[in-house]
Structure 1
C-alpha cells in the first residue's frame, strides 16, 4: 500500500514481520536509515525528506518497535537476529547492489555489526550517536590498563552517561515503568533538553510497547560484547557524526577508532543525542557529501573542502579539519593563537591590518599545520570586514572558530581623551568585535553545524581605572557583548567566550597612545610600560593555550594571569575595594 509518497510493505525477518518504508526512485542509489531506541522509523522523517530527491530512501521498524513484530524472550534480540532482519530488508529493497547505511543510536550500534560481518553489502556507512560495542569494550580496557587521571575522568564521564544501561539489566522494572507512562516525561525531556518538539510520528504512539520490548536489546548484547569484544575493524568507508552535547555517548569514544577503520571521517556538531530531529539539514547534507565522496559524484568546492577536512589520518590532532579565523594575528596574542591552533591541526586564516605581519604569521602557521592564509583587513571598517567574511566563506568555507582579537591600547585621564580618541578605541576594540561576531555568527548559524567565537576582552573590563577610561570601557563592552551573544547563540550550537588577559608581554604597550602627553613623553611612557610588562614575564603563548582550552571546554569567561583572576574575583566579591583601587594613578 502507499501512504503519500511513502511505500509500505511487510518483509519477513528471522521469525518476525518487519514494516519497511520506501521513498524515491528505486533506480537511484539506496540509502538505508536504521533507527535507535526507543524510536521507530519516523525519527528519520525530516532527514528522509531531504534525501528523497537524490536517493532511494529505505527505512524499517526494527523488531520490537513500531509496526514490526515483537518477539518474546531476550535471546531473540541478539545481534544474530538483528543481522538476519537487516539482511532480509536489504534483499527486499536493494537485492543486487550495495547500499549506503546510516544508523542512529541502537540503529548505529547494530549497523557497526553489519559493516563488520557483511561489508560486501555496503558502499558507505554513517554512524550517529551509536558506537561499536566491540570498540567500546576495547576502549574501556585500554583506559583501565593506563589509569591516568585523564583516562579515569573519561571512563567516569561515560559511566555517568550510561547509567540507564545498568538499570535496563534489572528484571521487570523497566518494562513496568514504560507501561506506567514514562513516555510522557520522555517526550517532555526531548523538548526541554534537546529542543525536539513532539510531532506526529515521534515519539510514536507505540512508545510504551516499544520502550518495554526494546530493553531486550540491552540485555541480549551489552554485557556480552563489552566483556568479550570482537575485532571492530571494517573496510567500509565510514563517517562518524559526533554530537558534542550528547547526554548518552561521550565524544571521547571515537578515540582510537581510526586504527580499526582505515577510511574514516569525523564530523562534530554542537547538538544533543537526537540530532536527526534537531539538525536534519546538517545530517542529510553530511550523508549526501559522504556518499558523494565515496562514489566520486561531483561536489561543490565548499563540500569538497568540508569532506577533505573531515578525513581522519593516523596522527589526527585535536583541531584537525577545523578552519580558524584570527584577527589581530600579526603579532602578540593573535599570532600565538594562530600558531597554537595550527599546531593542533587547524587550517588558519591570519588577519591583520598589517598585511606583511599577517603573511609572516601565516608562514609560521603553515610550518606547524596545514597551509595557512593571510588577509589584510581593518576590523574597524564595516565594508572591509563584510568583504573579508564573504571571501573566507567563498574561498575556504564557514569557519569553525573565530577569534576576534584585534585591539589597541590607550591611556590617560578622561578629560584628556578627545572625541577622536574615543572613536578610534571603540572602532577597533568594540566595533571590530561586533563586525567579526555578527558576520561569522550569521555564517555559522546558516550552516547549522555550530562553531565557536572567542572575543578578546581584558582584565580592564572588570578593573576600573582612572588612567584607562576608554580602553576599559571598550573591553567592558566586549565582555557584556560576549555574554549576550552566548545566551542568544547557544541554541544554535555556537559557543562564545570572553578571554580577559591581565598583564601580558605583547607589543600593545609599544603601540598604545598615552593621551595628554607630548610625543617625547609618550615614547618614555611606552618604554616604561614595555619594560614593566616584559619583567612580568607572562607571554602571549600562555594566553593562546587558554584560548584553545576555552574553545574545547566551551568556557564563558576566562581571566588569564593570576592578577586577572584575582581582579575578577574581587570585582564580584567587593566592588567597593575595586573602586578604591581605581583611584590609584598608575600612569
Structure 2
C-alpha cells in the first residue's frame, strides 16, 4: 500500500479514515477524524497501548479539529523494525513523527498531545532542533522527558538532602517495572503468555474501566513485547547522559494525575527552566486519564490549542483559591440562579472548575453560567430543571454524562422555605417542602452519586442542610424536618460511599442574606400578611448581612478537607454546640415565637 492511501479504519474512533505512512523501514498505521482544514491535533499513545487509548478523547476533539492518531512502530497496525534492538530509539521515533506530520499536515504545524511513552516521545519531539516550526503546542501527561529526568536525578545525587533522597527513593519504588522490563527475554515471554491475557482485566479493575472503542486492542500482547525496547533503547543511555539543550520550543501544557502509581508529581518541580511557556494542571485521577477523563482532557486540549493557534498567549491555569484542587473538574450546582448556589458556582469558577448551573429559573441559571465563564471557568453551562421532578433529574443526569462527563463535585443546594406552626401546615405544604428540600437531594445523590461510584475515580457530594436541622423551632416544623433529613442522609451516604473514594459533606448555614427569605411561604396567614412577613424577614436577614460568598468558601473548604458536617455562621456553630452539650436550653429557646 502506498503512502497516503486511505482505507476504512478497522478499529479506533467511529468514522476514522486510516492510511499507511512509511518511515525508516516501517509502515505506520495512521487514523484521521474531523475536518482536515481545521488545526491538526496529533495524539501519541503510551506503553503498552495502541492509538485506541485515545478513541474517546479523539471523538470529542474531532468536533473542532483535524485529529490524527497513529500506532507507534511495533504497535497496533504499525509494523515493527527489524531487528528490534536499536529500532526504538528516540531518534527513530522522531523520524516517524516527522513522516506522519509531513503526510497529514505538510503546510501547518501540529498540536502534539502525548500520554505515558507518547509524552516521553513528545518531549523529545518538542526539544530537538529538527522539529522546530513543526509543533505549535505540546500537551504532556504522565510521561517526563528522559533528559529532564536525568538532570533531576543528578541534582539529587550530587547535592543530597533528606527531602531529595526521599524523592529519589519514592520514584525508585514507583519505577519497579522499568527494572523488570530490562530483564532479557522474560518480559516478552510474560506478555505473550499469561500477562498479556490478564492485562486488560488488571487495568480495568485498577482504573475502573469498561472495554470500549476497541481498547485494549487484540494486538496488546505483541505490542507490549515489542514495546519493551522503548525502555531498553532509551532509558539508561538518556539518564546517564541527558542532553543539556532539551528546551521546549513550543508552549507546553502539563497535565498531572495526582493518583499516578508510576510517576511522582515531584518529577516536574523544576520543569519551568526547560519549558519557558508552561502551564500546569492537575487531576485527582490515576494513570490512564485518556480513558477515565476524556471530557476533561478534551476541554483542556481545546482551550490550549484554540489559544495558541490563534496567536494568543497560552491560557494561564486558574490562580484562584483551591485552583490546584478544582482546576478543570466538573462541578454541578443546583439552585444556582442566585444566593448560595450562585456564589458557590462562582467560587468553583474562580478555582478553574467547569461549572454546570442548574435551576428551574432558566434565565437565572444562564446568567450564572455566563458570569462563571467571565470569572474563570474554562467552560460553564446552564441547565433548567425542577429538582423535585424525578424523571427530569434522570434526563439531566444522562445528558450531563453524555455531553460533559461524570461530575466530580455535586452540590445539592436547591431549597425552599416554609414558616408556620405544624397545625397550620397543610399536607400540600409538606409535600412541596419535602419534594424540593429532601427529594431533590435524594435524586441528585442517587443519580450523580451512582455515576461517580461506577466511574471508580472518587468524587464529592455536598448537601446544603441548615442550622435548622439541629435547632428545633415551633415555627419551622416542615423546613427543619426536611433539613434534618438531609443532614442524616448525608451522614449515612458518607458511611456508605467512603469505600468508593466519594466524600459527602453537609453544609449548615445559619442566617444568610439571600432571597430565600423574600420567597419563603408562611402557612396559616392570608396573602397580605405573608407579604408583610416576607418583607420583615428579608429586612432582618439583610441587617444580619452574612454574605453567601462565605458559605460558598465553606463549601469548597469542606470538599478539600472532606469535612462531614460544617456549621457556617456563628449562630450555626453555637447552635451545634448547644445541641450537643445543652439540649434542654435549646428546647427552651425553641418554645419562643419570633415576631415578624
Would you call these one fold, judging by a TM-score over 0.5?
A: yes
Contact 1:115/1:234, CA 8 A, preserved across alignment: yes
SS of 1:68 mapped into structure 2: coil
Q: What corresponds to 1:304 in structure 2? A: none
Q: What corresponds to 1:121 in structure 2? A: 134
TM-score (normalizing by structure 1): 0.62
SS of 1:425 mapped into structure 2: helix
CA distance in 2, matches of 1:367, 1:401: 21
- Does 1:204 pair with 2:220? yes
From 173, 180, 191, the equivalent of 1:163 is 173
Q: What corresponds to 1:299 in structure 2? A: none
From 233, 240, 248, the equivalent of 1:233 is 248
CA distance in 1, matches of 2:432, 2:270: 50
Q: What corresponds to 1:68 in structure 2? A: 80
Shift in Å at residue 423 of structure 1?
Answer: 3.5
Change (3 A) 1:460 1:220: farther
Change (3 A) 1:351 1:217: same
CA distance in 1, matches of 2:245, 2:99: 24
* Worse-superposed segment, 86-95 or 184-193: 86-95
From 59, 63, 66, the equivalent of 2:70 is 59
From 312, 316, 319, the equivalent of 1:313 is 316
CA distance in 1, matches of 2:586, 2:89: 70
Shift in Å at residue 112 of structure 1?
Answer: 1.7
- Unpaired runs of at least 5, structure 2: 11-17, 592-596
Alignment of 1:207-356 (within 5 A): 209-210=225-226, 212-216=228-232, 219-220=235-236, 223-224=239-240, 232-235=247-250, 237-240=251-254, 246-249=260-263, 272-278=286-292, 312-313=315-316, 316-317=319-320, 318=323, 333-334=340-341, 337=344, 340-341=347-348, 344=351
Contact 2:119/2:144, CA 8 A, preserved across alignment: yes
Shift in Å at residue 131 of structure 1?
Answer: 4.0
Contact 1:497/1:550, CA 8 A, preserved across alignment: no
SS of 1:206 mapped into structure 2: helix
SS of 1:120 mapped into structure 2: coil
Change (3 A) 1:239 1:294: same
Change (3 A) 1:104 1:437: same
- Does 1:586 pair with 2:590? yes
Shift in Å at residue 79 of structure 1?
Answer: 3.7
State the aligned residue count.
540
Contact 2:349/2:355, CA 8 A, preserved across alignment: yes
CA distance in 2, matches of 1:559, 1:174: 57
CA distance in 2, matches of 1:143, 1:414: 70
CA distance in 2, matches of 1:496, 1:58: 37
Cα deviations by residue, 1:169-221 (Å, 9 ceiling, x for unpaired): 36855963663443444322211122434557256131552464444267326
Alignment of 1:438-517 (within 5 A): 454-458=462-466, 463=470, 469-478=477-486, 497-501=504-508
Shift in Å at residue 420 of structure 1?
Answer: 4.4
Change (3 A) 1:546 1:211: farther
Change (3 A) 1:321 1:141: farther
- Does 1:106 pair with 2:106? no
CA distance in 2, matches of 1:503, 1:143: 52
- Unpaired runs of at least 5, structure 1: 297-306
TM-score (normalizing by structure 2): 0.61
Cα deviations by residue, 1:140-176 (Å, 9 ceiling, x for unpaired): 99999xx9xxxx7x99899767733155236855963
Shift in Å at residue 570 of structure 1?
Answer: 13
